[in-house]
Amino acid sequence: MNPAALSRILILDFGSQYTQVIARRVRECQVYSEIVRCDIAAAEIEQLAPRGIILSGGPASVYDKGAPQIDLQIFSLGVPVLGICYGMQLMARHLGGEVEYSPRREYGAGLLHLDKKTSLFEGLGEQIDIWNSHGDKLTALPEGFHAIAHTENSAFAAIADSERQLFALQFHPEVSHTPRGKEIIQNFLFRICHCAMDWTMGSFIDDACARIRRQVGEENVVLGLSGGVDSSVAAALLHKAIGDQLTCIFVNNGLLRENEAEVVQRVFGENFHIKLKYVDASERFLSALAGVTDPETKRKIIGREFIGVFEDAVVEENQKSARNAAVLESELSISNQQFRFLAQGTLYPDVIESVAIGGNPASLIKSHHNVGGLPEKMHFELVEPLRQLFKDEVRLAGQQLGLPNEIVQRQPFPGPGLAVRILGEVTPERLQILRDADTIVGSEMKASDWYYRVWQSFAVLLPVRSVGVMGDQRTYENTIALRIVESQDGMTADWVRMPYEILARISSRIVNEVKGVNRVCYDISTKPPSTIEWE
């Protein structure tokens, strides 16, 4: 199976916050979907040979100056098209309908009355709940189209030209507030586009292994393993594909959580028998961080040190293999003697090339996710076997590759580790306080099963000391903040309304068990305007 042979749905991105949700809904139906720029040429689409095209929503009005446009030939390719919201207005306007400009958005729940029998609404009955979020409204149909559903406010809430297989919806079928929206998407995929359900994790893994082997041939690959989900799944996948041609380097930067280094060594070294080079660089990182309190400076130092340690580890591996191959040591340099390739666990949301319209989050690439600078500096070629996957798909792949739950279901943990959760200077003593508090948060969250229901849950050590009383003694000690958030992708987040009993238990355990802490606070800020991490 390779993506070219799959049933493929192209999603043209007009900047909606829901574009990625559409792509995920399609993939949940086991059909491969890809997000592409909205200005893609019809000829290019023809080459990609999709079974269907979905035009996403977007924040613009079709009347805005510079509103995103579309190659009109797309409607003549003979490929079924489903326009959603902005996609509907664009389609209707270009095909001869009339769209009324509205400066105000209609936003919220509504009831859709299904008027005509159409394969798009097969099995849905007479009315369904829907979610609206649109400004402009269609007031006259384009030629060849008929209305297939209406709402109280709109006679043309859904329209179709069955002859040309063009469909359009004013509402959002992809969001969970349209409870039966998935059935509409399924109808589009299977009844209209005749897609096969060929996007499965098993077939992805086989295909990814074949592609990795084709790309790297007999060459060796190095991977910086952090113990997080993405690099771990990438490691397991590469190991399945190329076995001992893969070397993983795990850098202990001294900023890890309790037992983290042991878990990674056990899972990858002992269970998977992956070639794992463990580098304990704690002292190097901690002495570089001594006296530093500025958050950005801390991050820069950690990034710089990581590159240094990684380079040294690669050179050491090169020397080892050169000695084995009896190559003169003088011929060695940082150039990748042994390792031509660097593997990274880059995911699909990081690579979607999108038009930045109205601050579409999909267009914001999170640069901090990968270690910038390494590939250029060391002349590596990149291997990124997870580039096609969303996070939930990566977890699924990890499970199928046999990774244990403690790795696959891990919450995200930032590259700079506990350093961005210690406000002020990072010292061994303060690290120990945070580590102990964090261990309690983790174990209580797991024991109550909340760990897997939230995006992240962790402790932060504040640079604040306050007065307390313990026994008959006055204390003057540190404060821990608890951060527990829910989020879809880390771009926005809300604090979790945790049951009081669990908060109470975490708090009392921290104050009683962690030496140097006499107060615990709960962070009740959303992102934005706050961030998830404190630094």
**Dihedral of alpha carbons 415, 421, 426, 430, sign:** negative
Candidate list 34, 38, 134, 174, residue with the active-site label: 174
Min separation Cβ 309 and ligand XMP, Å: 16
Nearest approach, Cβ of 228 to ligand XMP (angstroms)? Answer: 7
3-state DSSP assignment of residue 161:
strand
- Of these residues, 29, 85, 193, 195, which one is catalytic? 85
Q: Are 497 and 516 in contact (CB under 8 A)?
A: no
Residue 137's identity, in one-letter code, is: K
- Cβ 256 to ligand XMP shortest distance, Å: 13
Alpha carbons 62 and 47: distance in angstroms, whole number: 28
> Closest CB to ligand XMP among 135 and 415?
415
Angstrom distances, CA of residue 363 to CA of 260, 353, 408: 33, 7, 26
Report how far residue 366's alpha carbon sits from residue 350's, in angstroms, rounded to the nearest whole number. 6
296 classed as catalytic: no
Active-site residue 172, yes or no? yes
Least distance from ligand XMP to the Cβ atom of residue 383, Å: 19
How many beta carbons lie within 10 A of that of residue 290, not counting itself?
9
Query: What's the CA gap between 101 and 74, in Å, rounded?
Result: 24
Residue with tokens 């990274």: 344
Is 61 or 456 the residue whose CB approaches ligand XMP more closely? 456
Question: Which of 174/533 has CB closer to ligand XMP?
Answer: 533
How many Cβ atoms sit within 10 Å of the Cβ of residue 112? 28
Sequence letter at residue 274? I
Decide if 513 is catalytic.
no
* Residue 179, preceding peptide bond in cis (omega within 30° of 0): no
Task: Identify whether the C-beta of residue 460 lies closer than 8 Å to the C-beta of residue 484.
Answer: no
Cβ proximity to ligand XMP, 50 vs 345, nearer residue: 345
The dihedral region occupied by 452, where left means phi > 0, alpha psi between -120 and 50, and beta the remainder, is: alpha
Distance in angstroms (rounded) separating the CA atoms of residues 215 and 84: 38
233 vs 396: CA distance, rounded Å: 10
Residue number, 181 or 416, with CB nearest to ligand XMP = 416
Decide if 126 contacts 117 (C-beta within 8 A): no
Classify burial at 458, counting beta carbons within 10 Å of its beta carbon; exposed 0-12, middle 13-18, buried 19 or more.
buried
| Nearer residue to ligand XMP within complex by CB, 346 or 479 | 346
127-150 in b/e burial notation, b at 16+ Cβ within 10 A?
ebebbbbbbbbbeebbeebebbbb
C-alpha distances out from residue 379 to 10, 238, 334, 373, 506, Å: 34, 20, 9, 10, 47
Question: Which is nearer to ligand XMP, 224 or 490 (by Cβ)?
Answer: 490
- Interface residues with ligand XMP (CB under 6 A) are 368-369, 412, 414-416, 456, 490, 527, 531-533
Catalytic residue among 38, 134, 172, 369: 172
Q: How far apart are CB 100 and ligand XMP at their closest, in Å?
A: 39
Name 154's Cβ contacts closer than 8 Å, sequence gap at least 6: 137, 138, 170
> Is the alpha carbon torsion for 291, 296, 298, 301 positive or negative?
negative
- In the complex with ligand XMP, the residue whose CB is nearer, 300 or 323, is 300
Q: Least Å distance between CB 368 and ligand XMP? A: 4
The least CB distance from residue 177 to ligand XMP, in Å, is: 25
CB 95 within 8 A of CB 172: no
Residue closer to ligand XMP (CB basis): 141 or 248: 248
Name the minimum Å distance from CB 275 to ligand XMP.
24
Separation of CA 176 from chain center = 19
Catalytic annotation, residues:
85, 172, 174
